[in-house]
Amino acid sequence: MNVLIPLLILVVGLVALYVKLDPKRRAAGNLPPLVPGLPFIGVLPQFSKNPVAAIRSSFDKFGDCFTFHILGFNMTYLVGPKAHEVFFKGSDEELSPKEAYQFVVPVFGKGIVYDSPTAVMYEQLRFIKSGLVVGQLKKNIPIMEKEARAFFDKLGKSTELDLLTEMNNLTIRTASRCLLGPEIREDPKVSSDFAALYHDLEGGLNPLAFFYPYAPLPAHWRRDKARKEISALFSTVIKKRRQNPEDIHEDMLQILMESEYKNGDKLEDDHITGMLLGILFAGQHTSGITATWTAFFLQENQDYLKQLLEEQEEIKKEFGDEISFDSLRKSTKLENAIRESLRMFPPLIILMRKICEPMKYGDIDLPVGDLLCVSPGAAMRLPEVYKNPDTWDPTRFDRGEHLVPYAYLAFGGGRHGCPGENFGILQIKTIWTVLLRTFNIEIPAENLKKFQSAIPPADYTNLVVGPIAGANVRLVRK
């Protein structure tokens, strides 16, 4: 994001006449302390370098409620379980997620979730949740396993690779096959076209888009073009399915095609497309990133890796080579490793709402118009909650440290908690089960020298935070 600072400064200069900065608002009321920053730019330099460190440093100086000013936006942070309660218990009328997440509207489309009336939004979320129930998840696991085995079967006896890139490739295969259907995944031409369009769509979720999603930039033009072409692609698939109702499909696409609003209306084709894209974006990168962090942490914690291998041997005694919903439920140590990796490096480091009605946190007035934020990246490393918070320790889930209300935020919380949590965890567990049974994992010596650790730094240049590029691993077939 640092390379974008000059461009961001230019954009601020162009829009300054149209942005109401209202610095006088801090002159009245018991408002959160304003973290010092530069005119217009605010705290952007330190925030862009490492947002989590900036939030944690401000927490240490100002307490559990403070405000950042960045490019005309006031972002008020709540840090810690007690403060988080205000965020997660606030009503949609008080704290609007729709107002906070307008930057996703060009990607998902008009009329989808954050661009729909509140009642419609909740109906759409109900449709999505109906495709993520246990019965549907059980059907997805064989598909995930098949995709994972096909992916790993192509590798040789010893392969060095950029694990994040490959895990992202694998998770988009598993997620797209489970959610979008065989028409998108199994036709090579369609799959290739969709992958290229999806890449352009991803480019529209950049740091600048967070502040100015409609700025006239090439990345945004490519995003808008890709969104139209993806909609046309899905409309063709939907049309063929409706022409052949005798064909049986059990994926999310079919569930959305058959869903009805309470008034009896069906979803429009473009709305089906947008909801599928929303689900895919919400889970694909987060799963790929978490699977990757887990690999690095396990390499630095060989004793725990040994426990995972022993756990797999015990599961195989009961289930053989079968990977199923029931066998994955037995992988408790693996799940703890995944959830602990999420605690250490959550891909979504900031959750937001816009304050639409006067609210208080204790004696502090939360100003209407501010973005109210919590940071999973900062909150899940508080020593007040987690023992040795900067140490990767999956056994803390056996001790129940994560059970403190509003302390574990990897999947958000409250009424807007992630509906795809179980899908994501099962997806990563399936991939890792195949990986553990097939390969030994090594960290190349040059990586250890480069990063001085098996754990690479986090890359804060993207809205979804993963390890920095160039962190390779070597997979050696057993």
Per residue in 261-294, pLDDT (tens digit) is: 999 999 999 999 999 998 888 777 789 999 999 9
Domain boundaries, the chain: 2-477
CA distances from 357 to 75, 79, 85, 185, 367 (A): 16, 21, 17, 45, 8
**Average predicted confidence (pLDDT) for the chain:** 89
127 and 133 Cβ atoms separated by less than 8 Å: no
Q: Which residues contact 385 (CB under 8 A, 6 or more apart)?
A: 80, 81, 379, 401, 404, 407
Amino acid 51: pLDDT: 94
User: In this model, does residue 410 exceed pLDDT 70?
Assistant: yes
Please give the distance of CA 145 from its chain centroid, rounded to a whole number: 22
133 and 449 Cβ atoms separated by less than 8 Å: no
* Ramachandran bin of 292, using left for φ above 0, alpha for ψ from -120 to 50, beta for the remaining angles: alpha
Architecture of domain 2-477 in CATH?
A: Orthogonal Bundle (1.10)
Closest CA to 249 of 313, 162, 180, 194: 180
Report the alpha-carbon distance of residue 205 to residue 103 in Å, rounded: 8
User: In this model, does residue 27 exceed pLDDT 70?
Assistant: no
308 and 333 Cβ atoms separated by less than 8 Å: yes
Instruction: Identify which of 55-64, 103-112, 276-285 has the greatest average pLDDT.
Output: 55-64
Report the alpha-carbon distance of residue 331 to residue 344 in Å, rounded: 20
User: In this model, does residue 9 exceed pLDDT 80?
Assistant: no
Report the alpha-carbon distance of residue 354 to residue 396 in Å, rounded: 33
Amino acid 71: pLDDT: 83
Report the alpha-carbon distance of residue 129 to residue 425 in Å, rounded: 15
Counts for the chain of helices (H) and strands (E), in that order: 22, 12
Amino acid 28: pLDDT: 54
Q: Which amino acid is at 107?
A: V
Report the alpha-carbon distance of residue 51 to residue 310 in Å, rounded: 38
pLDDT tens for each residue of 148-170: 999 999 999 999 999 999 998 89
Q: What is the dihedral of CA 411, 414, 420, 423, to 10 degrees?
A: 70
Closest CA to 412 of 373, 457, 466: 373
Report the alpha-carbon distance of residue 234 to residue 272 in Å, rounded: 8
pLDDT tens for each residue of 378-407: 999 999 999 999 999 999 999 988 889 999
CB under 8 A, 24+ apart: contacts of 239-244: 240/183
pTM listed for this prediction: 0.90
Report the alpha-carbon distance of residue 477 to residue 159 in Å, rounded: 9
Q: Which residues contact 145 (CB under 8 A, 6 or more apart)?
A: 323, 430, 434
User: In this model, does residue 7 exceed pLDDT 90?
Assistant: no
Report the alpha-carbon distance of residue 206 to residue 220 in Å, rounded: 9
